[in-house]
Structure 1
């Protein structure tokens, strides 16, 4: 992922109003982020804990989405839809996001299960112990990274294009 600035992040959101975009609290640690190890950039606003914000690269541009966490907890221990991490090192919650444009203004939303703190990029890069002799852990990690990018890309395109 390419490096993001506060200006790029603010202008990237496609499913929020202008007022919501201007009131976003963008993290101040953008200069310290290792962008090469990120497939998307996500954060939570401590003042509004049910909101999450995610920015990803789509067709060479930054695209941002505001997500809302469901207030009801899930009944079981779910698996993240993006990183598909089965070892569950962190909480996974249900988020919903308004679609972009007219559909979003009409109340059309999409839900997905995601890591609560947006740890997917870290999860897929973890080198797990090999399950058997001769297992290529690095190749498995590369496949997880590719799968994460595919899942993020599909979710963003669905919300942006309605496809």
Structure 2
């Protein structure tokens, strides 16, 4: 993923108002992010722990230059025990406890204004790209042993992310 700045990020959001995009908390450590290892930029709102944000590369329509698309997400309330395990629907990493959360996003456009939303179980820390590449290991979970190469796993994660974003758009 190409490095993004705050202006790029705020302009990318499609399922919230411009005012909401202007007020949301953007990470302060953008320069330190491992951009070559990221398939998307994801972060939690430190002031509202039930909110998360995801910005991903997105193909342009009409033959223009490819850009990025951003979505706001809400995390479902979590009350799972330490022994409970869930799997991320994007990167297929399993986590114990609250390491995977149901994240829902309001659909873009008229559907979202009617209250329609789409959800997926995603790593709570939104570090899917790093788990797939072996740059980070889950605290209380595991990565399944797979016969796919890392490149194939990365492609699968990107495809699953694109499917989720397509449903939101």
TM-score interval, smaller chain: 0.7 to 0.9
Query: Structure 1 residues 18-27 or 100-109, which shifts more?
Result: 18-27
Matched, 1:85 2:93: yes
Match of 2:139 in 1: none
Instruction: Output aligned runs, 1:57-136, within 5 Å.
Output: 57-59=57-59, 60-73=66-79, 76-86=84-94, 88=95, 91-126=99-134
What is the distance in 1 between the residues matched to 2:103 and 2:129?
18
Instruction: Output aligned runs, 1:118-157, within 5 Å.
Output: 118-126=126-134, 140-157=149-166
Match of 1:54 in 2: 54
The CA deviation at 1:73 is: 3.4
The CA deviation at 1:46 is: 1.0
SS of 2:130's partner is helix
What is the distance in 2 between the residues matched to 1:111 and 1:154?
11
The CA deviation at 1:140 is: 2.1
TM-score (norm 1): 0.86
Q: Structure 2: which 5+ residue stretches go unaligned?
A: 60-65, 136-141
What is the distance in 2 between the residues matched to 1:44 and 1:26?
9
4+ runs of 1 displaced by more than 4 Å?
Answer: none
For the 8 Å contact 2:56–2:70, the answer to whether it is kept is yes
What is the distance in 1 between the residues matched to 2:77 and 2:19?
24
Structure with more helix by fraction: 1
The CA deviation at 1:32 is: 1.4
Instruction: Output aligned runs, 1:1-40, within 5 Å.
Output: 1-40=1-40
SS of 1:2's partner is coil
What is the distance in 2 between the residues matched to 1:19 and 1:124?
34
Q: Structure 1: which 5+ residue stretches go unaligned?
A: none
SS of 1:78's partner is strand
The CA deviation at 1:48 is: 0.4
How many residues were matched structurally?
Answer: 154
1:107-138 C-alpha deviation (Å, 9 max, x unpaired): 00011100001010111001899x6xxx97xx
Structure with more strand by fraction: 2
